[in-house]
Amino acid sequence: MVLTFVGWMRTLLKARSQAAVDRGYTVPLEPLSYSRGPAAPLLEKNLSEALADTAARFAGRDALIVCHQNLRLTWSELDVEVTRVARGLAGLGLGTGDRAGIWSSNCVEWILLQYASARAGVVLVNVNPAYRSHELRYVLKRSKIRALFLPERDSRADYREILNNSRNGEALPLEHVVWLGDASWDAMLAGGRDCPRTTPGTHDVANIQYTSGTTGSPKGVLLTHHNLLNNGMSISLALRATEQDRICAPVPLYHCFGSVIGSMVSVVTGAALILPSAQFEVLATLEAVHRERATALYGVPTMFIAELMHPEFARFDFTSLRTGVMAGAPCPIEVMRTVAERMHCHEMTIAYGQTESSPVITMSDVDDPMELRVATVGKALANTEVQIVNPETGARVPAGEQGELCTRGYLVMKGYDEDPDATAACIDAEGWLHTGDLAAMRPDGYFSFRGRAKDTIIRGGENIYPREVEDFLHTHPKIADVYVIGIPDARLGETVLAWVQLKPGEAATAEELQAFCKGRIAYFKIPQYVRFVDSFPMTVTKKIQKFLIREQEIRERGLEDIAGQATA
């Protein structure tokens, strides 16, 4: 009976996976959840070399269009400007392995620093523009940033004031503060000197991005030149991107979505990168697609929803679009379908990943049937292994069965910055990165995302680790205990809710706690909902049962339909 079943499964898998095999994908003939993307040549260069090569090939083609700064650079012009900035970094005394932070929303200086850091041998640290003093101080101390690049202020924050508050009388490694768009930026360029002759190796760290990981405080993810460039190349293969493409990326550069799926895809293919605005603005994005004849559009689902709902949507011409990437949060099936039809993105793709994987692990192809592109998160990227394992035993599960998604290959981070224990907990002895996400693999090698085994909340594409918010709220003098969860939200995917137990005799309101958070932690981490309780659901061993909190909130707030909404 067992042999008959196995034989039947082999026949089924052969029939259903032949198309994938023909395209270079490895789909096993055993009924277990393992797949390997097609083999492709890996890039063995650093970011600086990649830029120089592309500038040589496509010198006069558009490389970067920054609409809100009214700036346009060809590849040769971008290469020249990057060298000026790299010399400026060297003039500050920054050299191989030193760290420079960029704390800014999207701008031309962000892109210049991304490549110039590599040219000067400096590691670029991405700092979230939404960070406030509490978070900034943590990152400055943890990452040992020697130079910080930032605007004085923008529409959302007074960076100078936040930086001053973050110092808090403490000695920090920070030596240089360079204000973007200010005389200090010009002075930095004027004081430039030759960069070191030694260039970074392909496996040297190029970038540090902070993420909550799976436990504890935010961790610095060490991403190498090899990680970043090859993930960009693998994504570009799935998009069929070439130098003829024009990518409109309203997504943030501090996040992998902008700095990898955006700029790395651009530099490895020669495609133009279009930045419509400093932060996401619906009208600016629609105008950029229309005016610049974009062929690809990126965004998290909430961005696409906002674009579709804009009252002036009908006056824009989207016929130049062919493809794009929808990622960063679970993608509602109907949103994906509507974008493909109404925005002419008939080759729109879904991507899944995390910062620790550079970031994309699985992705749909532009010519996949719509059913696959709306019901799955695609299949393993080129040069990428993916398996689904039992979270308790680590054993591969049968195809179709839910388990933890793990990945292996060039895309796995070098580790967490100065945190070998956390790295070992995330990457096993065989090199598999354990994502903490639940998924299932179909017999044809496509994956469906089922949720998160870990505690992370994803609000509109922003990762929020509840422990970090809980630790901050514990500093409020009236709070005795607090637990934070994510609950379903029709617009954002998830939003933040806190259950709060006050100290005896104290009284507080939700508005009071939200005001306590404002300006001290990022806006997206501030609980939208607060419930004051006398106790929390616990196991007999006194472990908090957060799933019961979530179930109660979904039930009492009438969120069952949203919680059950189909997503890719």
Residue 542 carries which DSSP code?
A: -
Tell me the pLDDT of the chain (568 aa) as tens digits.
333 323 333 333 343 345 445 556 555 445 899 999 999 999 999 999 999 999 999 999 999 999 999 999 999 999 999 999 999 999 999 999 999 999 999 999 999 999 999 999 999 999 999 999 999 999 999 999 999 999 999 988 999 999 999 987 778 899 999 999 899 999 999 999 999 888 899 999 999 999 864 445 789 999 999 999 999 999 999 999 999 999 999 999 999 999 999 999 999 999 999 999 999 999 999 999 999 999 999 999 889 989 999 999 999 999 999 999 999 877 778 888 899 999 999 999 999 999 999 999 999 999 999 888 888 999 999 999 999 999 889 999 999 999 999 999 999 999 999 999 999 999 999 999 999 998 999 999 999 988 777 678 889 988 888 888 998 998 999 998 899 999 999 889 999 999 999 999 999 999 999 999 999 999 999 999 999 999 999 865 566 888 899 999 999 999 988 887 656 6
Q: Answer for the pair 361, 405: CB distance below 8 angstroms, yes or no.
A: yes
Nearest to 263 by CA among 374, 386, 124: 124
CATH 3.40.50.12780 for domain 47-351: yes
Q: Is 411 helix (H, G, I), strand (E, B) or coil?
A: coil
pLDDT recorded at residue 50: 98
For residue 509, how many other CB atoms are within 10 A of its CB?
A: 10
pLDDT recorded at residue 25: 58
Looking up tokens 């990152």 gives: 139
pLDDT recorded at residue 16: 38
pLDDT recorded at residue 407: 98
| Alpha-carbon span 124 to 115, nearest angstrom | 9
Nearest to 502 by CA among 494, 493, 492, 512: 512
**Between 183-190 and 75-91, two packed helices, what is the crossing angle to 10 degrees?**
90
For residue 190, how many other CB atoms are within 10 A of its CB?
A: 12
Q: Answer for the pair 505, 497: CB distance below 8 angstroms, yes or no.
A: no
| Alpha-carbon span 117 to 449, nearest angstrom | 36
pLDDT recorded at residue 93: 97
Q: What is the DSSP string of 261-279?
A: TTHHHHHHHT-EEEE--SS
Joined tokens for residue 463: 């990762």
Domain residue limits, the chain: 47-351, 457-563
Architecture of domain 457-563: 2-Layer Sandwich (3.30)
Q: Is 206 helix (H, G, I), strand (E, B) or coil?
A: strand
| Alpha-carbon span 536 to 105, nearest angstrom | 39
pLDDT recorded at residue 465: 81
